[in-house]
Amino acid sequence: MKKILMLTTGGDIAGEHTDTGLVPVYTGEQLVSMVPELREYCELECKDIMQLDGTNVQPEDWITIAEEVYDAQEAYDGVIITHGTDTMAYSACAVSLMVQNLQKPVIFTGAQIAMVDPDTDGKKNLLDAVHAAVSGIPGVYVVFGGRIIRGIRAQKMYTRALDAFHSINAGDAGYVQDGEVFLNQSVPTPVGEPVLDTRLEPKVVQLKLLPGIEPKQLESMLGMGYYGIILEAFGCGGIPNQNRNLLPCLKRAKQFGVAVLVATQCKYGNVDLGVYDVNVQAAREGAMSVYDMSIEAAAVKLMWVLGHTKKLDEVKKMMETCYVGEFTEKRHA
């Protein structure tokens, strides 16, 4: 049987009901004891690396997870990571970028309903994660609600629904049905050995534009020590440039050496800064497109890129480079 390592980080799946709500308390071995059939499919070892609600997972924790994944590559045939659903997509994106050229499966999963509850989805998700890990598909994936989603493309779409995660601007990689793994697309072939690169700059902020937003709101962020700002703009990247004109703020951001990314408030589709006047002028002031990346992938990638360089021309070049399938390259052409 294949040897699989399960790293536990907390989340709903490990939760217990308390007078302050659900709190993660259960260890990996305790979770496995609730689904003993897991060990019928693989030799499963557990390692508890943190016990956090997904909301409390920080960028520094991504580094810990990535290091554990990298260290496990030689001794194990795959890794499962149990994680809180609220920030699972961020962590999956981070591991995708920090541990590239993975030749073995790294599977994120969790639950919307705690394992101790009779109607939990955690048992099925764990079983599906084991089947995906044993299948040998290389790379980082979120396995949840029967879906297999590339980690760099995953996004939580529903607060409580069991089919919580969808793949953004890319089809699901596959699905698990009755213990069998079916792939919908060809799996990228890793080139070379796994590489660990955990350089990260977490001083990034995100601002959602609203009709009536004042330039001073963006201006105020320029002196707060952030190296990157992500603007959730309108449509395919529209930035207001008449009443309440934000273009002078973009110009000042460039002078401050602050990278500005333009994302969209739409769930699907790509940002194109070459279509409308409200796009083109923003690009001329140094704004950069996230193309069709999810907002999670864009944020994590910007932190990762800024961990490598703060020079805006180099940041732009790295943001325009597709490292792990985070955007659709043909749309970038």
E-assigned strands of 219-329?
Answer: 228-233, 259-264, 288-289
Tell me the helix, strand and coil percentages in the chain, rounded to 5. Answer: 35, 25, 40
Q: How many CB atoms lie within 10 A of CB 17?
A: 11
Separation of alpha carbons 152 and 52, rounded Å: 22
Three-class SS state of 46:
strand
Separation of alpha carbons 237 and 291, rounded Å: 9
Centroid of chain to Cα 294: 8
Nearest to 91 by CA among 304, 296, 305: 296
Asked if residues 57 and 9 have their Cβ atoms less than 8 Å apart, the reply is: yes
Separation of alpha carbons 155 and 236, rounded Å: 19
Centroid of chain to Cα 102: 16
85 is known as an active-site residue = yes
Separation of alpha carbons 301 and 320, rounded Å: 11
**Bridge partners, 261 (sequence order):** 230, 288
**Which residue is it, tokens 């007078």?**
19
Which token pair is 273?
């800064």
E-assigned strands of the chain?
Answer: 3-10, 15-18, 21-24, 43-52, 78-82, 99-100, 105-109, 139-144, 147-150, 154-156, 165-167, 174-177, 180-183, 195-196, 204-208, 228-233, 259-264, 288-289
Residue of 8, 82, 85, 109 marked catalytic:
85
Catalytic center residues = 85
